[in-house]
Structure formats: C-alpha cells, structure tokens
C-alpha cells in the first residue's frame, strides 16, 4: 500500500500537468511552426509563433486558419497564416499600391513599397470575386468572414484568389516572441486606417 501511495504521489502531478497543458492548448494558446514565404519579411520558414485562441481579431491581425474548404485546391486540413485586411461588412480595394478599406487608405507599414505596388495589384472585391468558386459578385466582406492577404503579396496564395475566410476556420491570432526582430509588425494588430 505504501508503494502505491508513493507511485501515485509522483504520477498524480504529471497527470494533472498533462490535463492542464491539453486544456490550455485546446482552448487558449498553442505554438505553430511557420512554413513557406507568404508572410515574409515578417514571418519566416521554421519560425515558431504563438497562436492565441481568445484574442479578438482586428484589421491587420495575423491569423492562422484551416484552408480546407476555403482554398479550393486544399483537400485536407492545411493551415495558412495571413493578415486580416477586411472585417465583416468592409469594402476593400487596391489601387497603385494603396489598399482602401471603406474608402480609407490602410496603414501597411509592415511591408515595403514594392510589395504594396507591384505585389498587391489593382482590384476591388467585385472584380476579384468574379473569378472565385464561392462568394461570387461580392462587394463587401460577408458577416462571419474575413478578407486576408499574405505580407509577401507577389507570392501569397490568399483571398485575392479564392475568397473569404470563414470565422469558424480561424485557429487564433498569431503573436511572435518579443525577442523576434519583426515582433512589432506582427504583434501590432492595432494598425488601422490612415485618416
């Protein structure tokens, strides 16, 4: 009996720790490994980021979402990392390197002028949506959805090509460790419209 108590005294804290860890990962926060160049220069391949499930999503927040069912080319669970440009109800357009949200220029100081102009293109939601499998003829971001772009616009596979991201697909808001040199560009989701 004494031996069983000794085993339980070691095992019980381990089991409780595992349950707490699983609960935190499931409902509050987890870590994710970045793959691919679509968020350069702010996120790089093999970089580890925090994913926070309870943080609110703002314009310019960086999110992780399951692209299965969003991007028609994805046939199984596959996670994309992109920046939220349009919130539900927003109108979004791009002209000569400036993105306009509800007719106001969006602050894009997290990417170079070259990515803003040559990488982003000239468009509005209606011109983009004429090519989408879903969300055809959209003029505004629908309720419960987001319009997202990668920071490396010239290589990013994003909402310009397949449409909106459903809120239910979002895994959380990305935050980088404070020692990361690009932490300001990723963590400052409050960057809003230039007025």
| 3-state SS assignment for residue 92 | strand
Active-site position among 38, 93, 94, 129: 38
pTM above 0.85, yes or no: no
**Domain-wise residue ranges, the chain:** 1-29, 34-182
Q: Is 38 a catalytic residue?
A: yes
CA distance 16 to 195: 51
Task: With cut-offs at 50, 70 and 90, classify the pLDDT of residue 158.
Answer: very high
The CATH fold of domain 34-182 = Umud Fragment, subunit A (2.10.109)
pLDDT in tens, 91-149: 999 998 899 999 999 999 999 888 888 889 899 999 999 999 888 899 999 999 999 99
pLDDT at position 188 is 57
Which residues neighbour 179 within 8 Å (Cβ) at sequence distance 6 or greater?
A: none
Active-site position among 40, 82, 145, 169: 82
Q: Is 129 a catalytic residue?
A: no
């Amino acid at each position: 009996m004494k031996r069983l108590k000794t085993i339980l005294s070691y095992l019980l804290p381990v089991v409780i720790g595992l349950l707490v860890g699983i609960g935190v990962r499931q409902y509050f926060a987890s870590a994710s490994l970045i793959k691919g160049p679509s968020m350069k220069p702010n996120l790089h391949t093999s970089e580890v980021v925090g994913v926070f499930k309870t943080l609110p999503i703002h314009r310019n927040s960086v999110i992780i979402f399951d692209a299965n069912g969003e991007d028609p080319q994805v046939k199984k669970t596959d996670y994309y990392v992109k920046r939220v440009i349009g919130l539900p109800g927003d109108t979004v357009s791009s002209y000569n390197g400036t993105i306009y949200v509800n007719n106001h220029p969006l602050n894009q100081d997290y990417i170079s002028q070259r990515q803003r102009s040559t990488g982003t293109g000239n468009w509005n939601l209606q011109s983009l949506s004429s090519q989408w499998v879903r969300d055809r003829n959209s003029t505004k971001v629908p309720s419960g959805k987001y319009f997202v772009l990668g920071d490396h616009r010239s290589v990013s596979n994003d909402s310009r090509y397949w449409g909106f991201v459903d809120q239910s697909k979002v895994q959380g808001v990305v935050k980088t460790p404070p020692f990361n040199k690009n932490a300001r560009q990723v963590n400052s989701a409050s960057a809003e419209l230039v007025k």
